[in-house]
Amino acid sequence: MVLEVLTGTGLAASAGLNAYIPLLITGALARYTSVIDLPGGWQWLGNEWVLGILAVLLAVEFVADKVPVVDHVNDLVQTVVRPTAGGLAFGAGSASETVTVNDPDSFFASGGQWLPVLVGVLIALGVHLLKSTARPVINAATAGIGAPVASTAEDATSVVMSLVAIILPVLMLVFLVGFALFLPWLLRRRADRRRERQAAREAGFRV
């Protein structure tokens, strides 16, 4: 069950960065390879129409998230989309057979199939809120130039995290440690930015 949880966690966290990448990767690998075998209730992810729709949505997200100001609006919209995708990704990933999980247990069987989905929603929401908090800090520090760089790095992280979650989920522990180290830095940086804005306002009043 540990590997199943790590797989689901990795896919849900990936959805917190980009809603469509983990779903597209999971569906494509299930349809075109033997790396992952989706359970009965999740085989729709491998449908060609679903994959096509996800690819189009990913293309829109890819562009929108790299334009300053537009990325902020996109993050507001994605506050609903990414947690939803995270719930679906966790539910599908934690119940699938993969190269490392040959006989997945019924995860949270006593809570029904919606409990893993709820866990995925919460994980993806947490990562999304972290991303949404970090982006304005990056944009302000780089006058907007850092937006496409940060977005590209997030997309790349989402791809790698999704693949690692499916193929070698034990490495998800590395991502979790990195997340734990990054969060305190981000909170300190945000607090510093607030103090700087407050100091600037006070200086303006004195003038």
* pLDDT tens profile 100-153: 666 666 555 444 567 888 889 999 998 898 888 777 777 777 776 777 888 898
Closest to 175 (Cα-Cα) out of 164, 189, 191, 188: 164
pLDDT of residue 110: 47
pLDDT of residue 87: 93
Q: Where are the beta strands (DSSP E) in the chain?
A: 36-37, 97-98
pLDDT of residue 82: 95
Of 18-32, 148-162, 191-205, least confident by mean pLDDT is 191-205
* Residue with the larger pLDDT of the pair 57 and 182: 57
- 83 has pLDDT over 60: yes
Q: What is the mean pLDDT of residues 78-90?
A: 93
The CA-based angle 128-120-8, given to 5 degrees, is 110
Task: Return phi, psi of residue 36, to 5°.
Answer: -140, 140
* Residue with the larger pLDDT of the pair 9 and 147: 9
pLDDT of residue 53: 96
pLDDT tier, 162 (very low <50, low <70, confident <90, very high otherwise): very high
pLDDT of residue 81: 94
pLDDT of residue 75: 87
CA atoms within 13 Å, Cβ hemisphere of 39: 19
The CA-based angle 174-22-31, given to 5 degrees, is 125
12-68 pLDDT, tens per residue? 999 999 999 999 999 999 999 988 888 878 899 999 999 999 999 999 999 998 888
pLDDT of residue 151: 87
- 157 has pLDDT over 60: yes
Q: What is the mean pLDDT of residues 161-170?
A: 89
Q: What is the residue whose two structure tokens read 């522990």?
A: 173
- 11 has pLDDT over 90: yes
Q: What is the mean pLDDT of residues 72-88?
A: 91
